[in-house]
Structure 1
Amino acid sequence: MKNLFILGLMALLVSCKQEQPPKDYAVIHGTIENPKEGLKLRLYNPETSESMSIKVDENGQFRDTLKLELPVTYTSVYGEVFNLYLKNDMDVEINFDADKISESIVYKGKGKAENDFLKSKSKQVLNLFGKDYKIYLGLNQADFEARTNAFVNKIYSQLEEQQAVLGADFVDAEKKKIDAFKKDMTVQHVEQLKINEELAQGKPSPDFQDYLNYDGGTTSLKDLKGSYVYIDVWATWCVPCVYEIPFLKEVEKEFHGKNIKFVSISVDRKADEKKWRDMIKEKELGGVQLLADNETSSKFMTDYYIYGIPRFILLDPDGNIVSYDAPRPSMPELKDLISSLDI
């Protein structure tokens, strides 16, 4: 009888422990190998456009507590970008090597299953896109639908197989995201086919006229005919654009004296002309430096379907398109491409 009483008491204690209310906050912590001095882990909420930064100490360790109104899939940035799903009552440990985040990131604790799924989904999206997403988006209708549907069906199956672990709310939310992804890809597929038709190699380039020239006066596209033209669409506020500057200067130096002009078109605001001029002087930029007439809404930008910068374009001496989306200066493929031209 005494033993039965003890067993009953133990069962009661375990039951009480299990019935503790869920925490109204989430905990995130972990260790980063090869941490970057002074760099914080940034979490961006794409639903609210709010962001926060988590301090990383000199040993790469970090920890923070977040009170969340709703579950969130953060876009997390620490040099490289990765997804992080959090909701209240989670306690997620995240460990990775800052030099190779996507290959090394490991999740532990409460929230591991959801974040492992997102990691797997990201890899499958990259496989869907392949090396050049424009090839995928430019597939004929039958091939595009077959490839997209196979991807969607696979993700759906994985969600249903793991529903007991992931939870119904997470699974339902992910299915909605996959449905939205499919719709978005379908829209982009239609546009890519249009781009492939309008901006095909050999087609006349969309035009620009009377862009302000840093050296004085204005310049139009027709003024550049007679040479190959490598166009850099950029802005002073664009961090990836500024990153490309040293590489662009190196390419310009290597092909100096050849029949190719390097033209940089800034989409900065007219009100920021001084800032544009100051950066050209500070960075000692060469080539032809132009300021577009209407920022990112300039007709040249919209005709090239430019939604993000930097964008690089290569034209032949007759003003025809060689590549509407040429390699960046930081990519070795650019020098190979230019070297293959009759310059």
Structure 2
Amino acid sequence: MKKMLGFIAVLCSTLVWAQDQVALKFEITNRIGDVVYIKNSMGKDVQQINVNDKGFFEARFGVAEGMYFLFDGAEYARLFLKNGFDLTAQLDAKAFDATLKFSGKGAPENNFLADKTRQDATVEAEFMKLETDEAVNQFCEQQKNAIYQKLEAGTFDPKFVSNVKLMAVQELMQLKMYFKESKAKSKMNGTKAPNFEYVDVTGKKVKLEDFKGQYVYIDIWATWCGPCRAEIPALKQTEAKYHGKKIAFVSISVDVDKDFEKWKKFVAEKQLGGTQLFADKNWESDFMKHFGVTSIPRFLLIDPQGNVVNADANRPSDPKLTAILDKLPL
């Protein structure tokens, strides 16, 4: 009887302990780093977890219920964590967003987030085709309703539902703000672009005026920006198509200063081409402030005399970009 009571006591304490923590088991093919980071919605590290040589990690820790991010190098996934969740996931870091899949307790919520991330690029592409305030408002309302309907059709944690609804509203507000900003950007076309002086991966200082006599296609981005990373393959293809022509491809990172080495590593690992630069004051750089850069990715096209052709140029993934570049005297 004493042994049985002791066993029951241990079992009960184990169950209580499990309910007070979240359990994560991840298997990452082609892992990027030896450590993954769990960050809260404010970007603060909650956990640093070692990944073994096979790309596997397992961890248990207590959390406040809510939204988090899992980072493997510059790649990341949104998570909804709650004590008592027991999540297993598999992914290939070379196709991070496309392959992430969850199972176990808490899987419905986290698969919802993974699916939403996969759909975001399509939503943004459709949004970029809109031309009027009325069309933008109608599009955003349709997107909000679609997300709400999916949430209501599922059996999700109530706090998850409220968090995703809030997130959706905030994201759609950002899209509306982007549309208004794009109108203001069009007024910059034809004006003189201010000079900049940023360092490249070797520490060499590079100025905009160094490219005088060439067209300059500028990509403003950051390593943590999912939509920015999604443009990399198309940007590489565009660079290859116009290699040797009178156009320079310049990418400017607005990563914070402490992530300089992380940026250099990302550039090397992804074999990024063109001229890779690091903005001196990230978002507060004079060049960024002049063009009102508040969201990324952002693309600019400058002519050989240093004048702005387009302060909100088409993305590399947009077929219209090559049609525009083909018409230039390159």
Cα distance, 1:52–1:127 mapped onto 2, change above 3 Å = same
TM alignment of 1:200-219, pairs within 5 A: 203-208=189-194
TM alignment of 1:1-343, pairs within 5 A: 21=16, 23-32=19-28, 34-36=29-31, 38-47=33-42, 49-68=44-63, 70-78=64-72, 80-130=75-125, 135-136=128-129, 139-162=131-154, 165-195=155-185, 197-199=186-188, 203-208=189-194, 227-230=213-216, 232=218, 254-255=243-244, 259=246, 296-307=283-294, 313-324=300-311, 340-343=327-330
* Identical aligned residues as a percent: 26
TM-score, scaled relative to structure 1: 0.64
Cα distance, 1:207–1:323 mapped onto 2, change above 3 Å = closer
Bigger Rg, structure 1 or 2? 1
Q: CA RMSD in A?
A: 4.8
**Counterpart residue number, 1:280:** none
Q: What is the CA–CA distance in structure 1 between the aligned matches of 2:253 and 2:95, rounded to whole Å? A: 33
Structure 1: any 5+ residue segments left out of the alignment? Answer: 1-12, 270-286
Q: What is the CA–CA distance in structure 1 between the aligned matches of 2:91 and 2:171, rounded to whole Å? A: 28
Q: What is the CA–CA distance in structure 2 between the aligned matches of 1:93 and 1:289, rounded to whole Å? A: 37
Cα distance, 1:128–1:296 mapped onto 2, change above 3 Å = closer
Query: Deviation digits for residues 191-222 of structure 1, max 9, x if unmatched?
Result: 22222x324xxx323442696999xxx9786x
What amino acid is the match of 2:187? Answer: E
SS of equivalent to 1:100: helix
TM-score, scaled relative to structure 2: 0.66
Offset of 1:87 from its aligned partner?
0.8
Cα distance, 1:67–1:192 mapped onto 2, change above 3 Å = same
What amino acid is the match of 1:63? Answer: E
Offset of 1:168 from its aligned partner?
2.0
Offset of 1:29 from its aligned partner?
0.5
Q: What is the CA–CA distance in structure 1 between the aligned matches of 2:276 and 2:147, rounded to whole Å? A: 47
Query: Deviation digits for residues 139-193 of structure 1, max 9, x if unmatched?
Result: 311111111111101111121222xx21322222222222333333332222222
**Counterpart residue number, 1:279:** none
Are the aligned partners of 1:328 and 1:334 in contact in 2 as well (CA < 8 Å)? yes
Structure 2: any 5+ residue segments left out of the alignment? Answer: 1-7, 201-205, 257-273
Cα distance, 1:38–1:209 mapped onto 2, change above 3 Å = closer
Q: What is the CA–CA distance in structure 2 between the aligned matches of 1:44 and 1:178, rounded to whole Å? A: 20
Q: What is the CA–CA distance in structure 2 between the aligned matches of 1:220 and 1:48, rounded to whole Å? A: 32
